[in-house]
Amino acid sequence: MKTLLSEEELERGVRKLADSINDVYQDSPLTIIAIMTGSIVLLADLIRLLTMPLRVGVVQTSSYQGAQRGELKINADLMPDIKDREVLLVDDIFDTGHTLDQVIELMRQMRPASLRSAVLLRKTGRQLIDLVPDFVVFDIPDEFVVGYGLDYRDEYRNLPFLAALQEDDIRDVGSVVR
């Protein structure tokens, strides 16, 4: 496993993101919707740095069955009403763009006053969708990353740093987790 972003770098990046969000929204009430489960650590760190009145909700997405990517499933049952509200959608990683694009489309149907997106990580060279997140904390290389909420087969979410898995790491977890 190779460290890409240290705990300190992540902390500085999230603080910079919070400063940008505070500048944009100032004192306007904001509803933050986090895409679960990977963004939960980012959400917890981020909301403690925001100064405006907040409402928080989550939407759960899933497109992986084990290590295989499949059809995106979206569960918005835990999301608060966003009609006529300022909404910020928070996600852990912007890879191909499919997940963020589909969640944004779902949320637009709920008629928020405004809708912006923030992502912790954007993988370079992977985007298949013509979408640019409003806030991007870090651009990273096209590697499989874990830590700070991101997982591989439900492992590694608890790492306080961001790491790229090497082939041996994937084999080791793959032989233990089925």
* 1 assigned to some structural domain: no
In one letter, which amino acid is 80? P
Average pLDDT (106-113) is 95
Cα R_g (the chain), whole angstroms: 16
Rounded distance between C-alpha atoms, residue 178 and residue 163, angstroms? 22
Q: How many domains does the chain have?
A: 1
Q: What is the pLDDT of residues 130-175, one digit of tens each?
A: 999 999 999 999 999 999 999 998 899 999 999 999 887 776 655 4
Q: Within a domain: residue 24?
A: yes
Structure tokens at 117: 């997106």
| Segments forming the whole domain that contains residue 87 | 8-142
For the segment 93-110, the average pLDDT, to the nearest whole number, is 93
Instruction: Give catalytic status of residue 45 as yes or no.
Output: no
Q: Across the chain, what does the average pLDDT equal? A: 90
Model confidence at 177: pLDDT above 60 = no
CA separation, residue 78 to residues 3, 37, 38, 81, 125 (Å):
33, 13, 16, 10, 33
Helix extents (H) in the chain: 7-25, 40-47, 98-108, 167-176
Domain assignment present for 164: no
Residue 17 domain-assigned (yes or no): yes
Read off the pLDDT of residues 17-57 as tens digits, 9 standing for 90 and up. Answer: 999 999 999 999 999 999 988 999 999 999 999 999 999 99
Query: pTM for the complete prediction?
Result: 0.88
For residue 58, CA distances in Å to 91, 119, 160, 171 come to: 10, 15, 22, 32
> Could you tell me the two tokens for 81?
């009403």
Say what the pLDDT of residue 173 is.
55
Does 51 or 126 have the greater pLDDT score?
Answer: 51
Distance from C-alpha of 34 to C-alpha of 36, rounded to nearest angstrom: 6
Residue 37's CATH number: 3.40.50.2020
- Among residues 45, 92, 95, 169, which one is catalytic? 95
